[in-house]
Amino acid sequence: MHRITNSGRVNLGHLFWLRSLAIIGQLSTIAVVQIFYGAKLPLPAMLLVIALEMVFNGLTWLRVARAQPETNLELFGQMWVDLGALSALLFLSGGATNPFVTLYIPSLAIAAAVLPWTMRWAVSPSSPSPATRCSATTTCRSISRIRPISLIISAPACG
């Protein structure tokens, strides 16, 4: 059921390095915003999220060093952790008004490239009901006939 190939190993290795770069970028951005712009960020909570991300990345490195190939389920879990960490940092620093919300797009593109279509749905920004994806102040158009790949790479049809 799970595709176990050498490409999974390459994918997990790439995710490790991408996450490492993301951690450096997150720490740099927090430092710049805190020092040069004087923004009051919840530093303890944000640094806790990044510390947990670093621990997970260390465990990922140990997993990459193993001789066993990774499964799609492992890649799926890795993507969930990345999206969860990004979501937590965005929540702590302004939510949907944060300009870094566009960083969801590369994560979703990676998920679309490495995961089978059945798992793409779970990491896409979809919910069980299209109406729950829109804020209470907007009117949703019907999106019931959108193909799965369009949910992964596009925003909901709201407004």
Domain boundaries, the chain: 6-97
Q: How many Å separate Cα 116 from the centre of its chain?
A: 17
> Looking at residue 13, what is its pLDDT?
86
For residue 48, pLDDT beyond 90: yes
Contact call for residues 92 and 119 (beta carbons, < 8 A): no
The model carries a pTM of 0.69
Contact call for residues 88 and 49 (beta carbons, < 8 A): yes
Element (DSSP H or E) covering residue 46: helix 43-65
> Looking at residue 19, what is its pLDDT?
94
pLDDT class of 146 with cuts at 50, 70, 90: very low
Cβ-based burial of 113 (10 A; exposed 0-12, middle 13-18, buried ≥19): exposed
> Looking at residue 123, what is its pLDDT?
65
> What are the residues facing 140 on neighbouring strands?
158
Q: Does residue 146 or residue 83 have the better pLDDT?
A: 83
Q: Does residue 18 or residue 113 have the better pLDDT?
A: 18
pLDDT class of 9 with cuts at 50, 70, 90: low
- Mean residue pLDDT across the chain: 75
pLDDT class of 34 with cuts at 50, 70, 90: very high
pLDDT digits (tens, 9 = 90+) for 100-141: 888 888 888 877 777 787 777 676 655 343 333 333 333 333
> Looking at residue 21, what is its pLDDT?
96
For residue 32, pLDDT beyond 80: yes
Q: How many Å separate Cα 56 from the centre of its chain?
A: 14
